[in-house]
Structure 1
Amino acid sequence: MSDQTRFRRFGAPAFVFVLAGAFVGVVAPASPASAAVPGLMRISATSTLTSNNYQTATAVCPVGKVLLSGGYEIVGASGEVTVDDFRPNGGPTTAPTAVTVGAYEIDEYPDVWMVQAFAVCANPVPGLVRISATNGGDSSDVHSTIATCPTGKQLTGAAFEMQEVVGKATVDDLRPNGTSTTAPTAVDVRAYEADPFSGPWSLTAYAICANPLPGLVQITTSSTSGSDDFRSATANCPASKVLVGGGYEVREGFGEVAVDDFTPNGGPATGPSSIITGAFEEDPYSNDWSIRAFAICATM
């Protein structure tokens, strides 16, 4: 991997939405931020910068807020690390409030690196739960599974967890359904072995689901296709919408590419509006490949 690509950081403009206030004697329109996702923000947490084989970080929403989705960034490893755990808490009857990201070195890597976890948080939204689906453990080279929201709910975020493969597999697809005019309701997760692994392993998909949010849609952006070591794509919500979650898909990578960045923009005082995806070849790979970014967006 090129030394020039190490420790790079993506930047994306943050948008601050200024709400109009109501004055005495003047009838003001309702604040658009109250329509769908009030209190939207992005929280981050970072592991220490070391050369350990495994690192983890957990981003926790502030008290009183819930988790709509998560994200991550691997800093410094440039394709030599795979995210093994991208796990929201919560359950089928409990709203999630935090997300844990854990990553392993695929092969021995002597340099320092770290994990950054991102939590997209908001004031409580009706019906928020976390659903999971697991592909049973076997030694197949590829595993896939789909987590589907309960009837009447829509997808705000997606995540995954691999069991027993300890750095020898990489998630290629974290793909929500939906379109630019229809709300997502499920996520399709697929993982490939990055190096030969003889033991059984399994894959869990997580869907974070809520009662319908106004204007919920899925926006897709693709990179160009080529054999470069690194490729990226950014999916932006329309001007009238904010980001609540996202996903990605590596096309034609087949385990030879590791998604290094899955990063919503925004911050503690700013709701996100876009999501950045970036991936490196894990070893030299001569085939053309590309990456797609998915943004799940709701009305402000």
Structure 2
Amino acid sequence: MVAAAIVQTIGVTPAAAATIPVGSVQVVTATSGLTPGSSKTITAVCTSARPFVLGGGFTTTGTHIVVSELQPIDGASVDSYRVTAGFDEVGTSGSWNLLVYAYCSSTAPGWQLVPVTSTTTSNSFNQVIATCPSGKAVVGTGGRINGGAGQVELVTQGIGSVGPNRMSAGGLEDITGFSGSWSVTGYAVCVTYTSSLDIRLVSNQTASDNTITKNVTATCPSGMRLTGSAIWASVPGNAINLRPNNSSPTNVAATARNDSGSGSGWDLITYALCAV
């Protein structure tokens, strides 16, 4: 399912000024609309051959929904960002919405998408690390659960602090486990940087307790813009929302829920990749 997109050009730079010039970024959104359905896949497509830099997605008015894909796509002519979400093993009869954001730039020297896929496993946790080539830094992340049947949560994570060049994507089986086999794919969006100091990774974490819904925001240092993000919710939580704050973002908000009925403690971490 690909929804109609809304495109907005913004006059700010979300990465190093020497790398992505002012005015080169567009924000593209796509939505499923408020409808029922056991699974939804929505793609926000960059225009005019603009490379993808940053993405986000969130679900609304839905419980027992699991996000299994936050995937940047290197297309033959245009790039895009695809999000998939669907029912967990309980599901819901209500309507819910899936909204996707893609931030796309017409200029990103050295832009490269690095995908890595894990081995197939039936373990409760599996993880893979995607690394940028030498001289490049991570400015965006993505991940996808391959299999899982709504019982494996996608979690992503930035690695490092100054000039980070790695990210990880993982899968966490839900509190009841999953008897099948599955794998996880991680995506690092990489660009050539002027200075490693131009790109930073910051994170923020909630307390570990049994609160049902948790929200946390990671904010870029003063003078820096958001270029990418990642989200990690421990079991029995489930990440459902990863959203830049506006069309020239300086922070990213994350939301996760515990729909399992378990009173176990859990926490939520969000990561912001930032550049001057």
**Above 0.5 in TM-score?**
yes
Identity rate, percent = 25
Matches within 5 A, 1:61-140: 61-78=46-63, 80-90=64-74, 97-106=79-88, 107-140=90-123
- TM-score by length of structure 1 reads 0.80
Find the aligned partners of 2:11 and 2:224 in 1 and give their Cα distance. 11
Q: 1:279 to 1:196 in 2, by over 3 A?
A: same
Matches within 5 A, 1:204-283: 204-212=185-193, 214=195, 215-250=198-233, 253-254=234-235, 256-267=236-247, 271-283=248-260
- Among 42, 53, 57, the alignment partner of 2:27 is 42
> Residues 104-124 of structure 1: CA distance to partner in whole angstroms, max 9, x if unpaired?
100221111121111122222
Q: 1:125 to 1:76 in 2, by over 3 A?
A: same
Find the aligned partners of 2:58 and 2:205 in 1 and give their Cα distance. 19
SS in 2 for 1:227: coil
Q: CA deviation at 1:231?
A: 0.7
Q: 1:213 to 1:105 in 2, by over 3 A?
A: farther
Q: CA deviation at 1:95?
A: 9.2
> Residues 135-165 of structure 1: CA distance to partner in whole angstroms, max 9, x if unpaired?
1112222111111111221101111111122
Find the aligned partners of 1:113 and 1:156 in 2 and give their Cα distance. 30
Q: 1:18 to 1:200 in 2, by over 3 A?
A: closer
Which structure would you say has the larger Rg?
Answer: 1
Tell me if the contact between 1:96 and 1:129 (Cα under 8 Å) persists in the aligned partners.
no
Gaps of 5+ in 2: 1-9
Tell me if the contact between 2:12 and 2:25 (Cα under 8 Å) persists in the aligned partners.
no
Q: CA RMSD in A?
A: 2.3
- In the alignment, residue 85 of structure 1 is paired with which amino acid? E
Instruction: Give yes or no for the alignment of 1:289 onto 2:271.
Output: no
SS in 2 for 1:43: strand
Residue aligning to 2:4 = none
Q: 1:18 to 1:140 in 2, by over 3 A?
A: closer
Tell me if the contact between 2:206 and 2:267 (Cα under 8 Å) persists in the aligned partners.
yes
- TM-score by length of structure 2 reads 0.87
Gaps of 5+ in 1: 1-15, 20-31
- In the alignment, residue 122 of structure 1 is paired with which amino acid? S
Q: CA deviation at 1:18?
A: 8.0
